[in-house]
Every structure is written in C-alpha cells, then in structure tokens.
C-alpha cells in the first residue's frame, strides 16, 4: 500500500471527499476554518426529515407492528414543524416552501405503497462504522449506512436513501464512491461475508437502482481512498491553494459571505417562509 504523508490521525468520509471535489474553498471554510454556515438549504432540510422518518419506520423492534401511513405522514409533519427556523433558504427558482413540503409527503406516500408491509430483514439503521485503511493507519474512515439488511448469514444489503433530484444510472452506480466506502466498512466490521447487494432509493422519483452481489475489489478501493485521503492532507498543508471553484452549486453554498469569488455579490437564495 501507499505511504502516508502524515502521522496524525485524519478523519475521512464521503462528505469530506465530496466537499473537496466540489469546491476547495468551501472545504477550507468548513473543515479547516470551521466557520458556521449562514443558512441551510431547504433541500438539505427536506432530506434530513425524510431520513428521520425512514429511520423511525425501520427501527428494529421486538414484534412491534409497523405504523400506518397516517402515522408516518404525521411524524413527517411534526418533524418539519419542530426543526423549522428562519435560516432555511431556497435557491431553486420558482419554488416555494410548500412545494418542498408537498414533495416530501408525496415521496413518503410513494415509498410506503411500494415497500409495505416493510418486512425487510433489517439489522440496523443509521449504523456508524469507523475503520482504518490497511497500509494507512493515519486515515480513519467514518461511514454511516442508512439501513443495513441481513438476508441470510453472510448476505448483506446496503440501502441508501437519496432525497435529491439527481439520479445515477446503473452504469454510474457501479463507480459510486459512497457505496464503495460502505462496502469497505462492512468488510471491516463483519466476518464471513459471502455476498453484498447495494440499493439506492431515489425518494423523489419513487425509483431504485440495485446492484446484486457486487464484486468490488477491496484492495483497489483501499488504494484509491488512500490516494484521496493523502491528497486532502497535502492540500491542508497549503491552505492558500484552496481556491474557489465557481459552479451552479454556488447558489446552494452558505459560505457566500466569506468567499473571495463572491465579494460584492448578493446570494441568489431567498429565505423560506
């Protein structure tokens, strides 16, 4: 395996890698400077509420019946109201708060119809797994799996909920780094693995993409993560090189107020009502 440019522990996650890929300045503001964000996108807010409802729906229980749809919808509405604040922002042109609120309810209704009576062999929800990469003990990888099912001894199913508009094709899903990190986490946490299936649940579209018995190469994935992790460490050693990358994603970034590329410009997002 490849060597390490650092001796200190470095926490590595998919969200950290994605932040670096999207915009190095945003990465700096969040992970190095630890600046507070000015606002929360309503898309992120909706995603959290949907994840919370599905976590509650699938929480393992001793013989407890699954809730009726009215209870699921009621929980979504309560969570939406409970966590609402005046820092939630809308960047999407032509959309208002009610559109996202209704989108969440429609997504839950479609999911409920498709998956009831929810008899999947759930092993865990929101399972956090931390592990170090072989050959790179300085890299501590953290993964949080939305739902983990165990179909049979040694047969696992990783489920990931996606609340956004973007969908991956089956071909692109085969190279999805997030699921590959979960795949490595499962191998690090469990013995006797015979088969792993992965499923992306696209809640907004009521569609799913599933890969059965994935044959990813753990050594190759580990090597790729080591390279990416070491690149982050090297970048952090030269924070002046973490320059902004302007893109349509800027409209959803809440570090606009400190970004050197946005000096004198007004953030296009508006406060949700």
Per domain, the residue ranges of the chain are: 121-236
Closest CA to 114 of 202, 45, 213, 211: 202
pTM: 0.92
**Cis ω for the linkage preceding 117 (within 30 of 0):** yes
Decide: helix, strand or coil at residue 78: helix
Residue 63: phi and psi, rounded to 5, are 70, 10
Which residue(s) pair with 199 in the sheet?
A: 159, 210
pLDDT at 7: 47
Question: Can you tell me the distance from the alpha carbon of 103 to that of 256, in angstroms, rounded to the nearest whole number?
Answer: 27
pLDDT at 3: 41
Block means of pLDDT (10 residues each) for the chain, length 273 residues? 53 96 96 93 97 93 81 98 96 96 98 95 96 94 97 98 94 95 96 97 97 97 97 91 93 92 92 91
Query: CB–CB of 17/228 below 8 Å?
Result: yes
């Amino acid at each position: 395996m490849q060597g390490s440019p650092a001796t200190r522990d470095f926490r590595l996650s998919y969200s950290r890698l994605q932040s670096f890929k999207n915009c190095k300045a945003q990465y700096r503001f969040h992970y190095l400077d630890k600046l507070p964000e000015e606002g929360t996108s309503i898309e992120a807010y909706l995603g959290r509420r949907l994840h919370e409802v599905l976590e509650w729906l699938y929480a393992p229980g001793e013989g407890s019946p699954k809730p009726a749809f009215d209870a699921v919808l009621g929980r979504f509405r309560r969570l939406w109201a409970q966590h609402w604040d005046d820092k939630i922002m809308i960047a999407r042109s032509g959309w208002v708060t009610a559109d996202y609120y209704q989108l969440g309810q429609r997504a839950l209704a479609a999911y409920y119809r498709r998956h009831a009576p929810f008899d999947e062999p759930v092993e865990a929800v929101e399972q956090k797994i931390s592990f170090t990469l072989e050959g790179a003990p300085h890299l501590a990888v953290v993964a949080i799996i939305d739902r983990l099912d165990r179909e049979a001894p040694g047969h696992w199913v990783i489920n990931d909920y996606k609340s956004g508009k973007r969908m991956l094709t089956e071909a692109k899903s085969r190279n999805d780094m997030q699921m590959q990190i979960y795949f490595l986490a499962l191998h690090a946490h469990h013995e006797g693995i015979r088969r792993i299936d992965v499923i992306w649940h696209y809640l907004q579209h009521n569609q799913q993409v599933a890969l059965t018995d994935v044959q990813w190469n753990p050594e190759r994935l580990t090597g790729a993560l080591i390279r990416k992790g070491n690149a982050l460490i090297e970048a952090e050693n030269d924070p002046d090189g973490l320059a902004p990358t302007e893109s349509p994603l800027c409209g959803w970034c809440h570090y606009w107020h400190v970004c050197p590329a946005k000096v004198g410009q007004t953030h296009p997002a508006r406060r949700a009502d």
